[in-house]
Structures are given as C-alpha cells and as structure tokens.
Amino acid sequence: MDFENFIDQLQKKLTQPLPGHDKFLVTEGFKRQIIPAADEKGIRKSAVLINFYPKKNGVYLPLILRPKYDGAHGGQMAFPGGGMEPFDESYERTALREAEEEIGIKSLDVKVIGQLSDIYIEPSKYWVRPIVSYLPYRPTFFPDEKEVAEIHEIQYNLIANMEQMQFKTVNVGRHSLNTKGFEVNSQWIWGATAMMLAELGEVLQEK
C-alpha cells in the first residue's frame, strides 16, 4: 500500500468508534481502575502527536527516548508531546506545539486526521489525548536535548499489532513491574505508549 492510500484508509477508520484500551488491559491482567474526569483537580491535560510520514517506500513514525531523570517517565520511549499550556486552544494545538519544540518538525506542514482514545496516566496525573497526523515528506529532526535523548524512526507495521507484543519485567524506582509492549531498535516500548500503539493497531486492522 502506498503512503497516500494508507493515510486515506486510516483517516476513514478514525471516523468510526474507537476500540479503546479494554483488550490491552485484559491481556495485561490489569484491574479496571477508577478513571478521574479530565477536569478534576490535580489532573493535567496533555497531548502527544502520532505522526506518520513516508520513508523508503514504507510508512514510519517517530518515537523519542526520554532522558533519564528522577521522574515517572524518565528513560522511557514515548511519542513527542507534553502538558497543555494556558495559551493552547486545544489538545491538537498542544500536540503540534510540543512536537515542534521537542523534535523540530514544522507544525504548519502537519495534517491532523484524527485522534485515539484518551489515556489517564496515574503516576504523573496526566490526561493524555493522542493526536494522529501525517507529513507528506520525511522530516528533518532537530531534537531538544533537554527533552529528547534519542529519536527513533519506527516502521509502523513492526509495532502496531497486539500479536507482536511481548512481556518483560522493568524496574521503575524500587519496584519491578511485569509489562507488555514492543521491543524495537533495542528499546522497550511499554505503558501508555504501548497502549496507544495497540489501539492504533486495532484501528488499522478494522475492515
């Protein structure tokens, strides 16, 4: 499938009801948690950008490796994104602004085609909306060294499929967690990012 057809089909599928995260949570063995409202006190609204682009006759998207720091998400793989600022008029604006700041893509060239289901991340109290978009060309990346340790260009079909997921124990602070995710480029993708990719895979597999 060429890039234009891929984007056209994905955009159409994103207009349908989203599958959510139930399938991932069941296979992960998590108990259903009580999800607070996005506007509840202490919750910070945020957004990430899932941005596709063509490369070598394939479809790719960038993931970033966060620098190691003493925080909930230090040293983890993620989509570019961050917290909503008072001047952001929408989740979409937050995702575009953060992606431009973190990896240097030109937000004016980005075409937004939809979104995935919101995710609440308990450790950081972030309410995250994944914005789905594309660029018609492979971007030149300019990572913000304070926010990004590495940029990984990932071919989407290596990760957007729950059947390709694995289990792995990771150390977070003083705790060991049994996680489910994807291993790509010698990096382990788990947590909220893996949940987004799993839902994206379900969307892409819908007839």
Class of domain 3-205: alpha beta
User: Quick check: 76 and 193 in contact, CB under 8 A?
Assistant: yes
How many angstroms separate the Cα of 22 from the Cα of each of 18, 27, 31, 160?
11, 9, 10, 16
The β-bridge relationship of strands 119-121 and 126-134 is antiparallel
Q: How far apart are CA 165 and CA 176, in angstroms?
A: 19
Report, in angstroms and rounded to the nearest whole number, the Rg of the chain calculated over CA atoms. Answer: 16
Is pTM beyond 0.85 here?
yes
Can you give the pLDDT of all 207 residues of the chain as single tens digits? 699 999 999 999 999 999 888 766 655 544 445 566 566 667 899 999 999 999 998 999 999 999 876 655 567 899 999 999 999 999 999 999 999 999 999 999 999 999 999 998 877 788 999 999 999 999 999 999 999 999 999 998 876 666 777 888 877 667 777 788 888 888 889 889 988 998 998 898 876
User: Where are the domains positioned within the chain?
Assistant: 3-205
User: Quick check: 159 and 189 in contact, CB under 8 A?
Assistant: yes
pLDDT of residue 34: 52
* Length reported for the chain: 207
